[in-house]
Every structure is written in C-alpha cells, then in structure tokens.
Amino acid sequence: MIARTFVDSNVLVYAHDADAGSRQQRAAEQLTELWKSGTGLLSTQVLQEFYVNVTRKIDSPLTASAAREVVRDYAVWIESAITAATIARASEIGEIWQISFWDGMILAAAEQSGAERLLTEYLNPGQKVAGIEIVSAFSDD
C-alpha cells in the first residue's frame, strides 16, 4: 500500500512542464501512481503556486484555461482547508525545524491532511519533519 503522500508544488509543475525532460516524466509517473492508489494530497497553496508557475514562469507556459482545468482536476486531492491554525502551525514548524515559512505551510497542510510523506524537490530526503517523511521526487537525477 502506498502511503498518503502530500505533493509539493514543484512536483506538480514539473509534471506539466513540457520542457522539463526527465523530471517531467518522473513527476508524471509519480502523480499517476498517486491517482491510481488514491493517496495523493494537496493544498490550495500548492494549486496557487502551480497555477502561477505554469502560466507565467516556465518556458512553454500553459494557457490559463488549461491550467484551470488541472487545478479543477486536482481539487479532489484537497482534504482540509487552510486556516489561521494552519498558519500558526506553519510558523512553529518553520521555527522548530529551521525551514522557511512557506515550506512550513506545506508541511502544516500535509500534517493537517494526515499525510505520511511529502514528495518534493527540496528539503532533506529521509528527514522527518512534524512526523512526515521527506521524499525526493527526483532522487535518480
């Protein structure tokens, strides 16, 4: 059984970036596995970052309408709302584990959603933060 896995925005962006080469393929494969197993999790923050990055910051941007469709598709992966308590927890996580507030937000949302793993390009693979195992999306690169 695949663990409930929270996906960081960078992985979602790579999966939809036609110019990302092997990272696009690897990210897409991992997302497909999470779809099949029903264990993928996201937050509204991840979808916001995804939308901005794929419509404005990649070499071959998606159209706004295509990006909106991806956001709508992945909305089912959001199981809990970001609240003031999530923000406070993010600041605690950032302070305790010496990471940025935004990484703390990702981890607070993951924790709140019951994730066991965080699939990301950043942070330290194998480390546990707030009880969540950090997993490198591209450890083979």
Residue 9 lies in a domain: yes
Query: Is residue 141 in a domain?
Result: no
Into how many domains does the chain fold?
A: 1
User: Mind listing the pLDDT tens digit for each residue in 17-60?
Assistant: 999 999 999 999 999 999 999 999 999 999 999 999 999 999 99
In a domain, 13, yes or no: yes
Could you tell me the strand order of the sheet in which 132-136 lies?
40-41, 5-7, 117-120, 132-136, 128-129
> What is the per-residue pLDDT for 1?
55
Range of the domain at 89: 5-136
User: Which parts of the chain fold into alpha helices (H)?
Assistant: 9-15, 22-37, 44-52, 64-74, 84-97, 101-113
For the chain, the average pLDDT equals 95
